[in-house]
Amino acid sequence: MKAGYMGIDVGSVSTNIAIIDEDKDVLESLYLRTNGQPIRAIQEGLMRIQELIDIKILGVGTTGSARNLAGVIVGADVIKNEITAHAVAASTVVKGVQTVLEIGGQDSKIIILRDGIVIDFAMNTVCAAGTGSFLDQQASRLDIPIEEFGSLALGANSPVRIAGRCSVFAESDMIHKQQLGHNLEDIIAGLCQALVRNYLNNVGKGKEILGPVVFQGGVAANQGIKAAFEEELGVEVIVPEYHNVMGAIGSAVLAQSAVKKKKSTSFKGFDTSSFDYHVSSFECNSCPNHCEIINIHQEDEIIARWGSKCPKWEAV
């Protein structure tokens, strides 16, 4: 039986799992939709991994917006924010990386590294115009599958300029350009450029982007966006093989170094997937904050709790 480290990245859109060996090479990876049910996604992910590979887990790390939840369910050795996890993954896969562009379904980030150390980063705040959901919207509007978006864009001769400050404007401008008779390829390439411009003007504002540049996240599969980045930045953009599970890879790498320090793993085992987990919540009315307190139950026992703005409910 092989041995390795597991990283789990639970975000609002997808739940990703990666298994790496001692040399940090990826042995297995998995990409699932979270569908608003992170616990189910985690359990299903564990079950599927177990079917895919016979492995002894030496350490486990979690990341993503549901990192704490995932951490208590699997017994994580390390729980880290997604920025650190993505930076770790990029510098593991591409030595000497200086810029990480990450675009996912709902969010995007940029990370600047120098000499292997993160020196600056930014995340998108509210605007979706620089994220994957912008493309999804436009793809469904044009009635073409999102998977074909990128290759169509590469076929463009002269991309049209789409005013894309915000997805609402972009949409009306795109319809306008369609009515003017521009061909589909040029419009799609124009959309890719609009997204790249939005991203660089929002998330990438004021950042010094130097190569090697790594582009990761779900949107990195899109050839059109990669090409638009290369054109805009004038440097080669590297899309790693496992670009859509980089957060998970990063947390697996972090788990490896955490276990080195603590000597043994806290992983609860794959059985976790057969336990009954559920979440209950109540509103605390002890003060006008009216915090919504979330309880995480394993069978009948409360194993974690959060949501309070004061220490009142800290102890489980």
Partner 1 sequence: MKPKIGIPQALLYHRYYPAWNKFFEELDCEVVDSKVSTKETVDAGVRLAVDEACLPVKLFLGHVQYLKNKVDYLFVPRVVSIESKEYLCPKFMGLPDMVRYNIDDLPTIIDTTLNLRDSKINLFKAALEVGEILGKGIWQVNKALWKALRELRKYRSERKGKINSKANYKIGVLGHEYIIYDPHISMNLIAKLRKMGVEVITAEMLSKPALKKGVAHLSKDMFWTLSKQMLGAGHHFFDRNDIDGIIQLTAFGCGPDSLVGEMIEREAKRRRKQPFMTLNLDEHTGEAGLLTRLEAFIDMIKWEGI
Binding site for partner 1 (CB under 8 A): 65, 80-84, 88, 91-92, 115-121, 123, 125-126, 206, 253-254, 257, 287-290, 309
Q: Which does 308 bind (CB under 5 to 8 A by kind): ligand SF4, partner 1, none?
A: ligand SF4
| Rounded Cα gap, residues 55 and 43, in angstroms | 17
Beta-bridge partner residues of 6: 19, 60
The residue count for the chain: 316
Q: Which is nearer to ligand SF4, 80 or 305 (CB)?
A: 305
Token digits of residue 278: 């559920």
Q: Which does 264 bind (CB under 5 to 8 A by kind): partner 1, ligand SF4, none?
A: none
Q: Where are the beta strands (DSSP E) in 128-265?
A: 213-216, 237-238
Q: Which is nearer to partner 1, 23 or 115 (CB)?
A: 115
Considering the complex, what minimum distance in angstroms separates the CB of residue 285 from ligand SF4? 7
Q: Which does 253 bind (CB under 5 to 8 A by kind): partner 1, ligand SF4, none?
A: partner 1
Q: Which is nearer to ligand SF4, 168 or 282 (CB)?
A: 282
Q: Which is nearer to partner 1, 94 or 123 (CB)?
A: 123
Q: Which does 127 bind (CB under 5 to 8 A by kind): ligand SF4, partner 1, none?
A: none
Q: Which is nearer to ligand SF4, 199 or 313 (CB)?
A: 313
CB distance 131 to 107 below 8 Å = yes
Is 300 buried (19+), middle (13-18) or exposed (0-12) by CB count in 10 A? Answer: exposed
| Rounded Cα gap, residues 195 and 202, in angstroms | 10
Residues of the shown chain interacting with ligand SF4 in the complex, contacts defined by CB under 6 A = 284, 286-287, 289-291, 308-310, 312-313
SS3 20: strand
Signed CA dihedral, 282, 43, 3, 91: sign only: negative
